[in-house]
Amino acid sequence: MLDFLNPIKGFGVTFRQMFRKVDTVEYPEEKKPTAPRFHGRHQLNRWPDGLEKCIGCELCAWACPADAIYVEGGSNTPDERYSPGERYGAVYQINYLRCILCGLCVEACPTRALTMTNDYELADDSRENLIWTKEQLLAPLSRGMEAPPHPMRLGESEEDYYRQGPAFAAQVTQAAAESDDEPAGGAR
Ligand code: SF4
Ligand code: SF4
């Protein structure tokens, strides 16, 4: 083909492209949902009565290849209980300046206290703000949950708590939902 037609062919490519569907996403106005198993920021989970699942064992910190997690365990007392076991995570921090969101900490956690959400909006212009504390990482209180410290509400023995507790919590949640549906003015 003649050389002088090459520029015209080039413009043809550009012209064709003008009618194709655009892949660009206008972030942050438009946000595309992530894949369901996307590794976003972490969350510290709770039992159905609101007690914390973290037992302060530090296994997540030892598993972390980036040395991004700092944990200090504390002991529960009868008057001040944060988790159903003997220990709880008194201090818990994740440094998102270091974290590579690999998920190894989640694999190491023996109680499923630590999981990852799909939340990826972690940018900040302050180094200090990128060290997330336990209060920021803890899951919000859902229906039927009570902010610790408080006694174990799902059974006094460990067996009751871990085996029968979730079923008991489901009953409480259902009863609360039914009472919400009743007309206002009923006894609480
Ligand atoms: S996701 Fe990976 S890098 Fe981030 S805290 Fe967990 S183990 Fe460390
Ligand atoms: S998040 Fe899991 S692994 Fe880490 S300290 Fe708490 S219980 Fe242990």
Residue 76 forms part of a structural domain: yes
Which residue do the tokens 């009565």 mark?
49
Contact 59, 40 (CB under 8 A): no
Residue 83 lies in a domain: yes
Query: pTM for the full model?
Result: 0.82
Q: For the domain that residue 164 is a member of, what is the CATH number?
A: 3.30.70.3270
Q: How many domains does the chain have?
A: 1
Question: Which ligand has the nearest atom to the CA of 72?
Answer: 2
Residue 16 lies in a domain: no
Ligand 1 proximal residues by C-beta, below 6 Å: 63-64, 66, 68-69, 94, 99-105
Residue 169 Cβ inside 6 Å of ligand 2? The answer reads no
Q: Record the tokens describing residue 15, joined without a space.
A: 């012209």
From the CA of 103, how far away is ligand 1's center (Å)?
A: 5
**Residue 130 carries which DSSP code?**
G
pLDDT in tens, 58-116: 999 999 999 999 999 999 998 999 999 899 999 999 999 999 999 999 999 999 999 99
Could you tell me if 42 and 117 are in contact, meaning their C-beta atoms sit under 8 angstroms apart?
A: yes
Tokens of 156: 């006094």
Looking at the domain assignment, is residue 100 inside a domain?
A: yes
Strand, coil or helix: 24: coil
Exposed, middle or buried by CB within 10 Å (0-12, 13-18, 19+), for 182? exposed
- The residue segments making up the domain with residue 86 are 31-176
Domain presence at residue 129: yes
Residue 161: which pLDDT band, with cuts at 50, 70 and 90? confident
Going by CA atoms, what residue is nearest to atom 2 of ligand 1? 102
The whole-angstrom separation of Cα 68 and Cα 78 is: 32
The region of weakest confidence among 63-67, 147-151, 184-188 is 184-188
